[in-house]
Structure 1
Amino acid sequence: MKIRIEIVAVDCLMVRLFDSIDEAHMPWLLAASRRLHECFGQRLIDLVPSYTTLMVHYDLQQLQASEARQLIAQALDDLQPDTRGSGRTHSLPTWYDPRVGPELKLLADRSGLSINQVIERHSGHEYQVFALGFVPGFAFMGLVDEILASPRLNTPRKRVAAGSVGIAERQTAAYPQVSPGGWNLIGRTPVRLFDHALEGYSLLHPGDRVRFEAVSHVEFIRLGGDDTPLEAQP
């Protein structure tokens, strides 16, 4: 691992730890995040972790750029991976059905699997939350089974229902709110992923682990799910 510091803005630096996405990198990123928080303290405005980087936004009134670089070097000296495991584990009940997951059959046809096998492959793995972005509460997770990897849609939808579960390349996610989107949709969860009552407003955070639990239509409705087909939503 070769740590590099890149300029993002006059008060923002990007700390790059890796060049490729790998679940094994998360303990290092979590350890770096903790150390940076401790070293910067009140001088830190925001720290945004991603797949391979951490963006450090610091208070320019309290730190010069050279001082910020020194703090980063100090924080990451002799860095060791965080083996304690910091994230929470979540189970997201998910109704897999073409009515709310119009690409479910497409993924089955493309992979040579049956629809049930696609569901088993997707729900049978525990995913790492790598980063939040795109819209508030949208958690990028991975890595999905290679046989399920699918490119984003050529033309994104103008409206994707909240709770929609999708796949893009080897990533998976659940839309926290109604928004445009180009991921391959395979189901829907009734779980509220973004809410002002939640800590940090988002249910999911980098370092968390997520498993999608396949549930019946009856159970989905019992849990408060909206089964309105995607094409019928206003």
Structure 2
Amino acid sequence: MTPPASGPRAAGPLPLRALPVGEHGLLIELASAEDVEALHAELLRRAADGTLPAVREMVPAARTVFLDGLAQPRALGADLATWHVPPLTAGDRPAVEIPVRYDGPDLAEVAALWGVTPDEVVRLHSGTAFHVAFCGFAPGFGYLTGLPEHLHVSRRETPRTRVPVGSVALAGPYTGVYPRSSPGGWRLIGRTDAALWDPAREPAALLTPGTTVRFVPVDAPVPAPRTTPSPSDRIPEEPAR
């Protein structure tokens, strides 16, 4: 697969591989998480304006998008290679602000790994515009990208048997918020009272693929999150990634 070019990508066809899955599924492999976001947004736009063939399910992941319920997956796979897909801009994404009390038990450890003070961890983390790359592990859990590579941290050598609900955590290139209590080995730097998953809400998930997320430092208690819709809106165990 062709590697992504450095710098902002111009609008045009994406390097991809489309693989039929069964009779009605299509797995689209892409070169980067940014390409996944851009293609997912384009698929949503075409679905909204009626130019995308009928699809029952659309699932973005780290480097893939899966479509199910297609009448002719091979035909769409061939057509995808010709699409002109624009790069995403900030205005294309819905936005969410999540209030966080930065008092996690691993905050000092993360500061040591970053070579900064705990206050600087708060400044760097809350100053980052994160994007929900994909969701998984548990209802409402989003894998958020945005931290530069030199701030990526490994998971704990010994996972916790119980991570409290609302914990804001780091592992590898991702930030995440635990939507409910579960075992986990991510490094905990804070906590929020935001409801990541609420079946009575529409949509039930606060974080959906493509959403921009900013964490806002606050003192306890933490209030509910603020959300801004996009103009184009429309068992768990440890997160493994």
Asked if TM exceeds 0.5, the reply is: yes
* Identical-residue share of aligned pairs (%): 34
- Residue 7 of structure 1 and its aligned partner are, at CA, apart by 4.4
Per the alignment, residue 52 of structure 1 pairs with: 63
1:180 paired with 2:193, answer: no
Per the alignment, residue 14 of structure 1 pairs with: 27
More helix by share: 1
- Residue 205 of structure 1 and its aligned partner are, at CA, apart by 0.8
Q: Which structure 1 segments of 5+ residues have no match?
A: 225-234
Per the alignment, residue 93 of structure 2 pairs with: 87
Contact 1:46–1:56 (CA under 8 A) maintained in structure 2 = yes
Distance 1:106 1:32, change over 3 A: same
Distance 1:174 1:94, change over 3 A: same
- Residue 157 of structure 1 and its aligned partner are, at CA, apart by 2.1
- Give, as a single letter, the amino acid of the residue that structure 2 aligns with 1:184: R
CA distance in 2, matches of 1:131, 1:25: 9
Contact 1:165–1:187 (CA under 8 A) maintained in structure 2 = yes
Bigger CA radius of gyration: 1
Q: Aligned with 1:70: secondary structure?
A: helix
Q: Equivalences for 1:206-217 in 2 at 5 Å?
A: 206-217=209-220
- Residue 75 of structure 1 and its aligned partner are, at CA, apart by 5.2
1:198 paired with 2:201, answer: yes
Contact 1:166–1:187 (CA under 8 A) maintained in structure 2 = yes
CA distance in 1, matches of 2:201, 2:92: 18
CA distance in 2, matches of 1:36, 1:70: 16
CA distance in 1, matches of 2:148, 2:107: 15
Q: Which stretch has the larger CA shift, 30-39 or 171-180?
A: 30-39
Q: Which stretch has the larger CA shift, 48-57 or 122-131?
A: 48-57
CA distance in 1, matches of 2:124, 2:151: 8
Count residues in correspondence: 208
CA distance in 2, matches of 1:188, 1:89: 19
Distance 1:71 1:176, change over 3 A: same
Q: Which stretch has the larger CA shift, 147-156 or 118-127?
A: 147-156
CA distance in 2, matches of 1:86, 1:50: 19
Q: Provide TM-score, normalisation by structure 2.
A: 0.77
- Give, as a single letter, the amino acid of the residue that structure 2 aligns with 1:87: R
Per the alignment, residue 34 of structure 1 pairs with: 45
Distance 1:75 1:6, change over 3 A: closer
Q: Provide TM-score, normalisation by structure 1.
A: 0.79
1:155 paired with 2:167, answer: no
Q: Aligned with 1:39: secondary structure?
A: coil
Q: Which stretch has the larger CA shift, 117-126 or 71-80?
A: 71-80
Q: Aligned with 1:40: secondary structure?
A: coil
- Residue 90 of structure 1 and its aligned partner are, at CA, apart by 0.8
- Give, as a single letter, the amino acid of the residue that structure 2 aligns with 1:94: V
- Residue 78 of structure 1 and its aligned partner are, at CA, apart by 2.5
Contact 2:26–2:77 (CA under 8 A) maintained in structure 1 = no
1:110 paired with 2:123, answer: no
Per the alignment, residue 168 of structure 1 pairs with: 171
Q: Aligned with 2:67: secondary structure?
A: strand
